[in-house]
Structure formats: structure tokens, C-alpha cells
């Protein structure tokens, strides 16, 4: 006599078969999700790398501009406070700020100033050592604060070196073409005791970035800016 599976057995078989199909579907769906996630990450990474490079190039070209802006404010303030002219000297190595001593000097001014500052520091060390030993020095008059500031200005020297991968150009108000600061070329930017300075346009170029600023002659602040970063 032929026997038939009971309803209970048939239900179990269907349940087992259905569960297996559902597990395989869930595994396949999870694999698709992983593939999609990996693809999205790859796309985002590909977009992020150029963006990061662009930010780095912008920072590289903007740094000399920011430094010059701060330096211009510093020397303008010193010129007005001390009632002595100051200058920022540009050459192929970078730029440096100091008291303005002579219109006939050149790139050697910075080296001469370094030597003078070093000599003044040595004299002060000798004088301080003599005081500690109780050695009598010449009568020292009370120093006027204004005179002390002027004296301090004689040893003021701030320097900024331009990276080899950057190109700097200048254009003063009476010049029709940009002057590249390379080789033996140098230019002098004067700040008067009145606070006025010569109008100046300053340009920094890298391989894929460019910054240009124009300084106002009355305030030495940036009055216009142009930039381009690839």
C-alpha cells in the first residue's frame, strides 16, 4: 500500500527549502551592498585627493603674501612710532624688513646690519658681565622711552625666505611691467614716518597657483587681491 507524507512532514520540507532560499538572498544582497560601498569610497577618494592638493598649493602660494601683509603693518607702525623711515627689501632670496639707512645701499645691507646687531649684542654682554662683577662703568643716564625705542629700531631685522618652487614679481606705481625678483635683482619698499608708503603690487606664482595683492599707499593694507588655484 502506497504511503503519503503527512501534512506535518510536508510543511517541514517546505519550511526548510524556503529558509535556505532566504539565506542565499540575504547573502547576495549583503555582497551587493559591499560592492556599492567600495565603489562610493573609491569615487570619494578620487575626488578628495585633487581637492587636498589644491588646498596645499593655495597655502604654499598664500604664505608669502600673508607674511608680507603682517610685515608691512609692523614696519609702518615702527616708522610712525619712531618717526624714522623703514623699508622692506626684496631680492631673489625673499624679503627683509629693517630701518631705512641709505638710498645707496644694496643687497649687502642685510649682511651689514646682521654684523652690526651682533656687535651691539656682544657689547651688551660685556657690559652686563662687568656689572655682575661690580666693575664700575661710565655713568649711565636715565634712558628716555622714546630714545630707547629708536635705539631698539637700529637692531630690528625681520627676514622671510621664499621657497625655490615659488616665483615672486613686483610692480611699483611708476613701473609699466612686472619685475621678477630673481638673480641679482632687488627692490626697496619705503615706509615714511607719516605712515605713507609707495603703492605696490606683489605677485606669487607656483606651478598651479597664483596670488596677487595690491597695497594701499596710505595704510599699507591690501586694497585688492587676485588669486587662481587649479
pTM: 0.64
Instruction: Note whether residue 20 is domain-resident.
Output: no
How many structural domains comprise the chain? Answer: 1
Instruction: Note whether residue 119 is domain-resident.
Output: no
| Tens of pLDDT, residues 125-144 | 666 666 677 665 554 545 45
Q: What is the CATH number of the domain that holds 93?
A: 3.55.40.10
pLDDT band for position 70 (cuts 50, 70, 90): very high
d(CA 19, CA 34): 23
Q: Which backbone phi and psi does 180 adopt, to 5 degrees?
A: -80, 130
Instruction: Note whether residue 17 is domain-resident.
Output: no
Q: Is the pLDDT of residue 17 over 80?
A: no
d(CA 73, CA 80): 11
| Tens of pLDDT, residues 197-212 | 999 999 999 888 889 9
Mean pLDDT of the 88-108 span: 83
Q: What is the 3-state secondary structure (H, E, C) of 177-212?
A: CCEECCCCCEEEEEECCCCCECCEEEEEECCCEEEE
Instruction: Note whether residue 193 is domain-resident.
Output: yes
Mean pLDDT of the 101-118 span: 69
- The pLDDT of residue 101: 80
Instruction: Note whether residue 214 is domain-resident.
Output: yes
Which residue range is the domain that position 85 belongs to? 45-103+158-229
Instruction: Note whether residue 167 is domain-resident.
Output: yes
Instruction: Note whether residue 110 is domain-resident.
Output: no
Amino acid at each position: 500500500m502506497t504511503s503519503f507524507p503527512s501534512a506535518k512532514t510536508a510543511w517541514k520540507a517546505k519550511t526548510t527549502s524556503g529558509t535556505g532560499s532566504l539565506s542565499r538572498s540575504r547573502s547576495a544582497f549583503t555582497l551587493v551592498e559591499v560592492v556599492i560601498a567600495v565603489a562610493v569610497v573609491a569615487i570619494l577618494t578620487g575626488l578628495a585627493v585633487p581637492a587636498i592638493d589644491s588646498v596645499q598649493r593655495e597655502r604654499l602660494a598664500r604664505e608669502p603674501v600673508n607674511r608680507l601683509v603682517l610685515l608691512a603693518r609692523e614696519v609702518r607702525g615702527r616708522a610712525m612710532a619712531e618717526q624714522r623711515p623703514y623699508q622692506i627689501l626684496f631680492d631673489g632670496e625673499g624679503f627683509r624688513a629693517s630701518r631705512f639707512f641709505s638710498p645707496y645701499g644694496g643687497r649687502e645691507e642685510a649682511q651689514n646690519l646682521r654684523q652690526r646687531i651682533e656687535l651691539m649684542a656682544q657689547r651688551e654682554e660685556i657690559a652686563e658681565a662687568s656689572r655682575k662683577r661690580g666693575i664700575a662703568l661710565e655713568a649711565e643716564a636715565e634712558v628716555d622711552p622714546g630714545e630707547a625705542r629708536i635705539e631698539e629700531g637700529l637692531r630690528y631685522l625681520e627676514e622671510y625666505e621664499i621657497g625655490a618652487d615659488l616665483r615672486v614679481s613686483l610692480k611699483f606705481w611708476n613701473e609699466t611691467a612686472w619685475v621678477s625678483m630673481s638673480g641679482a635683482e632687488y627692490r626697496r619698499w619705503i615706509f615714511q614716518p607719516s605712515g605713507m608708503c609707495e603703492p605696490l603690487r606683489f605677485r606669487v606664482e607656483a606651478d598651479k597657483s597664483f596670488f596677487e595683492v595690491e597695497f594701499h599707499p596710505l595704510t599699507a593694507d591690501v586694497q585688492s587681491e587676485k588669486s587662481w588655484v587649479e
